[in-house]
Amino acid sequence: MSNENQQSLVSSLYERFLKNPWPYYTGAVILAVLNVALLAASGKPWGISGIFNYWGGMIVELFGGSVENWLFFKNPKHLKLLHKGFWGNPGSVRDFAIIIAALMTSLLAGQFKFKMIKSWRQFAAAVIGGLFMGYGAMIAFGCNIGGLFSGTASMSLHGWVFMVFIFLGGLVGSKILVKYLL
């Protein structure tokens, strides 16, 4: 009898924390607390896209290319960090960990599924969307995380301007999506 009760406790905890999605507000509070903790622990708030400069550099160097002439790596600090490698670069570890964590939780929920690209249109959307996001994030000094979340929370004007224009971009993007991708 008690064994049965325990069984149901385990399975209800599993359902609640690992199977069913958490409420958005729970996520919001945890992410905010983590971002504050990150700032306190490392001196810098959360950001994602800036790290992709290093990933790009790593890929190019992997294929024997040279990155010394790139604007980003003309800063000796950046070049030094690049040569610490994938795991020696704390930001790169942090970005990669997000992929692994999402893989783990979707496996634990029994909800992992490998999803192929459905059509050429979807492929084109991924290419154009990726390019726009990368370019936009770099000239605006931040993506949704570094600009919208951390930038605004730092009480910087650039975060607020980012928020207004990302909303307008989102409106245009939605129009494009409904027209071409449906």
Q: Interface with another protein includes 81 (CB under 8 A)?
A: no
Q: Interface with another protein includes 10 (CB under 8 A)?
A: no
Q: Interface with another protein includes 90 (CB under 8 A)?
A: yes
User: Binding another protein by CB under 8 A: which of 1, 64, 76, 155?
Assistant: 155
| Cα–Cα distance measured from residue 59 to residue 66, given in angstroms and rounded to the nearest whole number | 10
Q: Interface with another protein includes 9 (CB under 8 A)?
A: no
Contact in structure between 53 and 72 (CB atoms under 8 Å): yes
User: Binding another protein by CB under 8 A: which of 2, 4, 110, 120?
Assistant: 110
Closest CB to another protein among 9 and 103?
103
Shortest Å, Cβ 41 to another protein: 6
Contact in structure between 96 and 85 (CB atoms under 8 Å): no
User: Any idea of the CA torsion for 113, 173, 57, 89, to the nearest 10 degrees?
Assistant: -70
Contact in structure between 91 and 54 (CB atoms under 8 Å): yes
Q: Interface with another protein includes 96 (CB under 8 A)?
A: yes
Give, as ranges, the residues between 35 and 64 that touch another protein (CB under 8 A).
35-50, 52-53, 55-56, 59
Closest CB to another protein among 1 and 120?
120
| Cα–Cα distance measured from residue 41 to residue 66, given in angstroms and rounded to the nearest whole number | 34
User: Binding another protein by CB under 8 A: which of 5, 77, 118, 120?
Assistant: 118
Contact in structure between 18 and 105 (CB atoms under 8 Å): yes
Contact in structure between 165 and 147 (CB atoms under 8 Å): no
